[in-house]
A and B are shown apart, each in its own frame.
Chain A
């Protein structure tokens, strides 16, 4: 089954404790992206990657890092999480320039 898998689904952490949210897709997609969803703001892009070792900033990249060492994986790293990074995060992938995105089920992150 074609899917984008994110882990974990729920995460509660404390300020400053480094964390990684994993994302994996099994569709051989070149394009992958991370979004955060906040009430009233919709989905805002954090980072995206057009292929292995090619990443670029989205609209809200501050406080986040990504890496794309393999085509299927695109982890999101928060080196020093802060409470304003409490949000619902989605990973997505696409085979065509980020248009027809397939989304994961989301990761609800709470930073205390």
Chain B
């Protein structure tokens, strides 16, 4: 499958902070998706992006489809404790419309 590099691998948040994470691919994607996984549950779709340059928001979450079509970014504004979890990027390449490749995930934890 396609190689997706997601960073950072983990991060600590303080309530009220803005946080960012990103995902890069070695090849061009036609779709970028961002999922969140909470403990004991399966991933849940947060945002879907379909066009280069597209900027889409879902509440305090904003994601962008990179102009090069090889990257995507997710921002969380004004963090709250329930933002903890694992965030995954996922993408579909032009060569295979049926296979979704996932990044390794960014683990978000509340800073004590």
A interface residue numbers (CB < 8 A to B): 4, 31, 33, 35, 40-45, 48, 50, 56, 58-59, 90, 92, 97-106
Tell whether, in the assembled complex, residue B99 and residue A98 are in contact, meaning their CB atoms are under 8 Å apart.
Answer: yes
Listed stretches B37-45, B52-60, B66-74; interface member: B37-45
> Which residues on A sit within 8 Å (CB–CB) of B1?
44-45, 58-59
B94 to chain A, nearest CB (A): 13
Question: How many whole Å from A6's CB to the nearest CB in chain B?
Answer: 8
- The reply to whether A48 and B105 form a contact with Cβ atoms under 8 Å apart is no
**Which one of A40, A41, A58, A90 contacts B99 once the chains associate, using CB atoms below 8 Å?**
A58
- Please indicate the chain A residues that have their CB under 8 angstroms from the CB of B90 in the complex: 43
Chain A residues within 8 Å of B88, by CB: 42-43
Are A99 and B48 also in contact (CB < 8 A) when A31-B98, A45-B1 are? yes
